[in-house]
Amino acid sequence: MNITIRWKLSILVAGVLLAVSSFFCLNLLLIETGVLNQQKVLVSEQVESLVNANLQGQVETMTRSVSEYYQRTDDKEIREALFQEVSGLRVAIGNMYDNNLTDDAAMTLYTFINEYQWGSGRYLFAYDADTLSNEASGNGEVAVGNSFDAQDEKGNYYARDIVSSARQHDIGFSSYFFTNPQTGKVEEKLSASFYFAPLNLVIGTGEYVSTLKQQATEAALLAIASSRFGEHGYFWVQDKNGTLLTHPDPALIGSVTPSSREVARQLATRSQASVLTQEVHPDTQLPENRLTFAKQVFPRWGWVIVTGTFQRDVTGIEESLGVAMADLFDAEVGKALIYTVVLLILTMILSVFLLNLIIAEMVDLKLRIDNLSTGDADLTARLEVKSRDELGAIRESFNDFVGNLQSMMLDISQASGHITVGLDQLNEQTERNSRALDRHSSETELAVTAITQVSSTADTVARSSENTSDKTRQANDEARESKVTVVEAGDSVRALVEEMGTASACIDTMNQNTRNIVSVLSIIGDIADQTNLLALNAAIEAARAGEQGRGFAVVAEEVRNLASRTQKSTSEINEILGTLQQGAEEAVTLMDGTRSSCQRVADNTTRITERLDQMTDSISDIDALSGQIATAAQEQSSVSEEISANVHTIQEMAAELAQNGEETAVSTRSLAAANEQLSTLVGRFRLR
């Protein structure tokens, strides 16, 4: 089946596009189904999470709203409330007494205390601050008698405590115990009182602590039971055992329901929990599942606040969201399918257009290759590169191939020309070589004659070299004898130098001794001067002594004469030593000059010895060279004979080269014919 590439590519592109589009649409539908299912689960989880968060928020809000009642049940808060309450009463009573317009302010005040009540039967009482007599009471009984020795049911003197606390504090507190008529139990009763100085009264009020706490608890329960949110949202309160403390249905208060029991079980180890319970739906009056949130609050009360919402309400929200989401996805999927069909059509049109462009370029490329395959191609023509795709790369590669082929053909054409020139030159060189070989043959004969003469000359040189060697050996012996004589003369001169050094040292020693003698004579001269001076002094002293010193004067004169002669002798010796010292110095100078001259003679003798050694070495070298020349002359004679034999061989080779030159000329003519044929083949292409 003959199908063109155009149809093959069109069918392939259409099939691929249809397959991709079908896969995309199917995958889109599957993704929509999967996403919807995931979204339903996610929406369900999120709605339940939001519902739980909302229920938790409702419980937190309710807890905060009734926390004020919880704080009121704290003992400190109870005292603070009583303090504020009694402080207000004290201000009101003080104003009432100070601003009373009647003649008997005390009676007005007593009447107020006896009649004023508030709350659930709360009242005031008053004691005389000194006697503790009952002055007034608002409990409906006549205030008579004295309470000084009155005791509560635990034996405490409660009236004394009330009065003492009031007089010691701004607002005094005291506790005592009586039977609570509401519970029938002995319970603590807390009173707050103050001292009213104008009437010397202690006024106060009291209440059972349990009653005060119960009032706050009941108020909190009432607030919780009456609270609502949403369509069916309400609260109930139970204890840790599940007993309902308040409920929208009053009939259930004080009982344990299955729901409250389940809540108590879930909170056995946790402080809060989300619980699935069953409650009667207000609309259907049938039991339905209810998402319930419960939290333990107010530790002193041990309460658990519970609220919830019916699961049907949550399911309705989830279904509404699911339907809305499905509609949204259907709309988006429909748009995606429409876009896919439009995109498929546009893609097919674009594919057909691109295929036509590609096929057109391929047809053009085929025509150019057909033209190249005919054998008479134009290698200067190039394909136009219209794009940077694979076809453009093929066109560039084709152009590179044609360019390389053109370059190669040009190189072949040039090489063929060079070969032609080279062949012409080779023919000329062959002819010149033939002529040169002829000349070489005649010159070789002349070389044989010259080599024979060289051999004869080499023999003569060998004999002359032997005579020269004998003369050089004789000169070498005489040079050695001269060297011995010069060495002996040098040794004598060096011995003379050493003796002159010794004599110079002796004269130096004598000169030094002369200097030492001069020093001693100088000391002797100094002693003579001192002696002469002493003799003069002695003569002077003898003259002073007169006749008694005459003999001493004679001795002094003799001593002075002796000193004078000593000085004179010393001077003469000093002059002689000076002359001797001068002569010794001149002798040392002359000896040094003589030693220097001898040293120069010794040095010259050494240099002469070195020159004789060099001359001896040179004569030895000449002797060796003469021997080498004789040997070389003998070897040259032998080599000349070998050269003569080699020249005969060269004559034979020259004849062989002449024959080879003729054969080379024949081969050159054959190569020229082949080169001409190659030039004809290359000429079939257009290269420029």
Domain-ending residue, one of 219, 238, 272: 219
Predicted structure pTM score:
0.40
DSSP classification of residue 426: H
**Region 412-435 average pLDDT:** 75
From 219, 248, 277, the end of a domain falls on 219
Q: Where are the beta strands (DSSP E) in 181-286?
A: 185-196, 201-208, 228-229, 233-239, 244-246, 272-280
Which of helix, strand or coil describes residue 150?
coil
- Same domain for 478 and 512, yes or no, is yes
Q: Which residues contact 493 (CB under 8 A, 6 or more apart)?
A: 598, 601, 602, 605
Calpha distance 475→477 (Å, rounded): 5
For residues 583-607, give the mean pLDDT.
73
Tell me what percent of the residues of the chain surpass a pLDDT of 70. 80
* Max mean pLDDT range (205-214, 306-315, 528-537, 596-605): 205-214
Q: Which residue has the higher pLDDT, 522 or 294?
A: 294
Distance of CA 443 to the CA centre of its chain: 88
Owning domain of residue 241: 221-315
Render pLDDT for 90-144 as a digit per residue (tens, 0 to 9). Answer: 999 999 888 887 778 889 888 898 888 887 778 899 999 999 998 888 776 655 6
HSE (CB half, 13 Å, CA atoms) of 257?
22
Residue 49 lies in a domain: no
Q: Is 25 exposed, middle or buried (0-12, 13-18, 19+ CB in 10 A)?
A: middle
Confidence (pLDDT) at 295: 94
Q: How many CA atoms lie within 13 A of 286 on its CB side?
A: 3
Q: How confident is the model at residue 473 (pLDDT cuts 50, 70, 90)?
A: confident
245 and 207 in a common domain:
no
Domain assignment of residue 387, yes or no: no
List the beta strands (DSSP E) in 417-535: none
Shared domain for 511 and 605, answered yes or no, is yes
Mean pLDDT, rounded, for 483-510? 71
Evaluate whether 158 touches 178 at the Cβ level (below 8 Å): no
Mark whether 242 and 101 lie in a shared domain. no
CA distance 592 to 543: 61
Q: Which of 42-46, 79-83, 537-541, 558-562 has the lowest mean pLDDT?
A: 42-46
Query: Dihedrals φ, ψ of 130, to 5°?
Result: -100, -50
Strand, helix or coil for residue 183: coil
pLDDT at 92: 92
Co-location of 185 and 256 in the same domain: no
More confident residue, 444 or 67: 67
Q: What is the mean pLDDT of residues 475-501?
A: 71
pLDDT at 503: 66
Average pLDDT over residues 366-392: 69
pLDDT value of position 437: 66
Same domain for 183 and 81, yes or no, is yes
The answer to whether residues 350 and 57 touch, using CB atoms and an 8 Å cutoff, is no
Long-range contacts of 383-389, Cβ-Cβ distance < 8 Å, separation of 24 or more: 386/361, 387/361
Mean pLDDT value across residues 83-95: 92
**538: CB partners within 8 A, 6+ apart:** 552, 553, 555, 556, 559
Q: Are residues 443 and 428 in the same domain?
A: yes
Counting other chains too, the contacts that 322-327 makes at CB distance below 8 Å and 24 or more residues apart are 322/36, 322/39, 322/40, 322/43, 325/36, 325/39, 325/40, 325/43, 326/36
With respect to residue 596, please indicate whether it lies within any of the assigned structural domains.
yes
Same domain, 510 and 534: yes
CB of 191 within 8 A of CB of 124? no
Q: Which CATH number do you get for residue 235?
A: 3.30.450.20
The overall average pLDDT reported for the chain is 78
Residue 43 has pLDDT above 70, yes or no: no
- Integer Cα distance of 515 and 45 in angstroms: 135
202 Cβ contact list (under 8 Å, min separation 6): 126, 127, 128, 129, 162, 163, 166, 167, 193, 194, 195, 196
What is the domain count for the chain?
A: 3
Tokens found for residue 327:
């509609």
Instruction: Out of 312-326, 331-345, 547-561, 644-658, pick the least confident.
Output: 312-326
Token pair, residue 427, equals 């023919």
Query: Is 323 part of a structural domain of the chain?
Result: no
In this predicted structure, what is the pLDDT of residue 163?
Answer: 94
- Report the C-alpha gap between 645 and 640 in whole angstroms: 9
* pLDDT band at residue 562 using 50, 70 and 90 as cut-offs: confident
Question: Both 228 and 114 in a single domain?
Answer: no
**Do 304 and 240 lie in a common domain?**
yes
Residue range 431-458, pLDDT digits in tens? 777 777 677 667 767 766 766 776 677 6
On whether residue 566 sits in a domain, the answer given is: yes
Structure tokens given for 261: 């029991």
Cβ atoms of residues 109 and 199 within 8 Å? yes
The DSSP call for residue 250 is G
The answer to whether the CB of 281 falls within 8 A of the CB of 291 is no
Last residue of a domain, one of 288, 315, 342: 315
Render pLDDT for 258-297 as a digit per residue (tens, 0 to 9): 999 999 999 999 999 989 888 888 777 888 888 899 999 9
The CATH number given to whatever domain includes residue 486 is: 1.10.287.2610
User: Per-residue confidence at 497, pLDDT binned at 50, 70, 90?
Assistant: low
pLDDT of residue 316: 60
The answer to whether the beta carbons of residues 82 and 166 sit under 8 Å apart is: no
Q: Is residue 306 part of a domain?
A: yes
Q: Does 404 reside within a domain?
A: yes
Mean pLDDT throughout 165-188?
91
Residue 546 in this model has a pLDDT that exceeds 90:
no
Return the ∠ at Cα 491 (arms to 485 and 493), rounded to 5°.
105
Same domain, 161 and 272: no
Same domain, 476 and 615: yes
Give the pLDDT score at 597.
73
Tell me what the mean pLDDT of segment 637-656 comes to.
70
Report the pLDDT value the prediction gives residue 93, as an integer from 0 to 100: 92
Q: Which are the contacts of 205, defined by CB distance < 8 A and separation ≥ 6?
A: 82, 85, 86, 89, 122, 123, 124, 125, 191, 192, 193
With respect to residue 142, please indicate whether it lies within any of the assigned structural domains. Answer: yes
pLDDT category at 304 given cuts 50, 70, 90 is very high
Three-state SS at 546:
helix
Read off the pLDDT of residues 193-243 as tens digits, 9 standing for 90 and up: 999 999 999 999 988 888 888 888 888 899 898 888 877 788 999 999 999
